[in-house]
């Protein structure tokens, strides 16, 4: 079992759900990335999604794209990210998942990327631009290293294909709540509840919902059907807007925001 399997088994056993913040590695720098992960880990977040900066992401909206651009302009390298995670992950209670373009994985070599990720303490990988039909080689490589390979299901995914995705996913399914790109929404479509309920009929895997989640009312809406909630753009935006402020103030700002979401999970 991967660390993600263990986590969700424990959460399900106690009737709890997972809070999973997303942060961009290297925005504004890797030292801050490590600091925010430590802070949110101490608050009780259950999983972390760390975005590997890429110049042409396929599903990310302007907030996360801009954070990738800032990190790349500062010459953040994959090796630097893995070095940071190697130092950090042993001190975290929450597993870390990398969100990474397949172009990066392919350029490194599948075994090389997965091996380095595993050595850095990464528990799973999300590769949003890798079609499930072409995921066999990476899935086998991840299986050998006991890393979860997490696939995405969207509102427009046909049910038969969603079943295939579920069969080939390990760790958890990433359910995309809206049609489109990442980014904060004022409201989420009510249909997501029925869509996730339908998906749950076809798989026993945990289902974590992402895209658009940014408010406590979103958390309360999705809690009945989700095993976990992924919050990305709202966290990344708060970090970007606080640029130039003392770092402890930025950490406090992000911490207070996530605390409100965690409190909504308990309501």
pLDDT of residue 183: 47
Per the annotation, the verdict on 49 as an active-site residue is yes
For the stretch 10-23, pLDDT in tens is 999 999 999 999 99
Among left, alpha and beta (phi > 0; psi -120 to 50; other), residue 120 is alpha
| Confidence class for position 196, pLDDT limits 50, 70, 90 | very high
Catalytic residue among 5, 27, 41, 49: 49
Q: What is the CATH number of the domain that holds 173?
A: 3.20.20.70
Work out the mean pLDDT of the chain and round it to a whole number. 93
- What percentage of the chain reaches a pLDDT higher than 70? 94
User: What per-residue confidence (pLDDT) applies to 55?
Assistant: 87
Residues whose CB is less than 8 angstroms from the CB of residue 114 and which lie 6 or more positions away in sequence, other chains included: 105, 125, 138, 141, 142, 144, 145, 147
**Structural domain total, the chain:** 1
Could you list the residue range(s) of the whole structural domain that residue 201 is in? 3-266
Exactly one of 5, 60, 184, 227 is catalytic; name it: 60
**Four-residue CA torsion sign, 127, 250, 118, 11:** negative
Whether residue 50 has a cis bond before it, omega within 30° of 0: no
What proportion of the chain, given as a percentage, has pLDDT over 90? Answer: 85
Report whether pLDDT(179) > 70: no
Answer yes or no: 29 catalytic.
no
Strand partners, 174: 152, 208
Residue written as token pair 């072409």? 134
How much is the average pLDDT of 239-266? Answer: 94
pLDDT band (50, 70, 90) for residue 177: confident
Q: What is the mean pLDDT of residues 243-253?
A: 92
């Amino acid at each position: 079992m991967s660390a993600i399997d263990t986590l969700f088994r424990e959460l399900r056993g106690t009737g709890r759900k997972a809070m999973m913040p997303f942060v961009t590695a290297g925005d504004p720098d890797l030292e801050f990335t490590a600091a925010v992960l430590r802070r949110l880990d101490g608050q009780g977040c259950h999983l972390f999604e760390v975005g590997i900066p890429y110049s042409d992401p396929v599903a990310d909206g302007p907030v996360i794209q801009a954070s990738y651009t800032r990190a790349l302009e500062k010459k953040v390298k994959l090796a630097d990210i893995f070095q940071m995670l190697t130092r950090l992950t042993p001190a975290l209670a929450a597993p870390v998942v990398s969100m990474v373009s397949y172009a990066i994985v392919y350029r490194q070599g599948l075994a090389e990327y997965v091996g380095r990720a595993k050595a850095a303490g990464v528990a799973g990988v999300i590769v949003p631009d890798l079609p499930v039909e072409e995921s066999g080689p990476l899935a086998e490589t991840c299986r050998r290293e006991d890393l979860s390979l997490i696939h995405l299901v969207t509102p427009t995914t046909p049910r038969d294909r969603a079943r295939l995705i579920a069969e080939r996913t390990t760790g958890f399914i990433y359910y995309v709540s809206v049609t489109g790109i990442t980014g904060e929404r004022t409201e989420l479509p009510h249909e997501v509840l029925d869509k996730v309920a339908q998906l749950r009929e076809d798989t026993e895997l945990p289902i974590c919902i992402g895209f658009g989640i940014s408010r406590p009312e979103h958390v309360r809406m999705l809690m009945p059907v989700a095993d976990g909630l992924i919050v990305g753009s709202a966290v990344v935006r708060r970090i970007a807007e606080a640029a130039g402020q003392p770092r402890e103030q930025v950490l406090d700002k992000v911490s207070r925001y996530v605390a409100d979401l965690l409190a909504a999970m308990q309501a």
